[in-house]
Amino acid sequence: MRILKTLLLLAIILVFAFFSLAFITHNQGNAVIDLLFIPPIEARLASWLIGFFVVGVVLGLFASTLMLLAERTRRKRTEKRMQNTSKLLSGYHS
């Protein structure tokens, strides 16, 4: 199963790389991005779009990782409370 997942991930990466290269070769026009406190930067439109896509993916992964860690912490805290409650209840019945 692990080999299948690895092959699927490799196939997805290769397809993404192929389409990225095709997008870059077909979009040769320059675009100027004027950020608030930085002087305008001129680069290929495809480079800007792919760069913003990658930054969005990285930020999304970071945010989802933080959410998963918070959920795991809440779940462990709840399980500990349940164990303490169970011990208290079993002590009352004996």
**Closest C-alpha among 43, 26, 46, 25 to residue 34:** 43
Q: What is the mean pLDDT of residues 20-41?
A: 84
pTM for the model: 0.60
41 vs 58, higher pLDDT = 58
pLDDT, tens digit, for every residue of 5-16? 999 999 999 998
Q: How far apart are alpha carbons 42 and 33 in whole angstroms?
A: 6
pLDDT, tens digit, for every residue of 54-67? 999 999 999 999 99
Cβ neighbourhood burial of 25 (10 Å; 0-12, 13-18, 19+): exposed
pLDDT of 72 higher than 70: yes
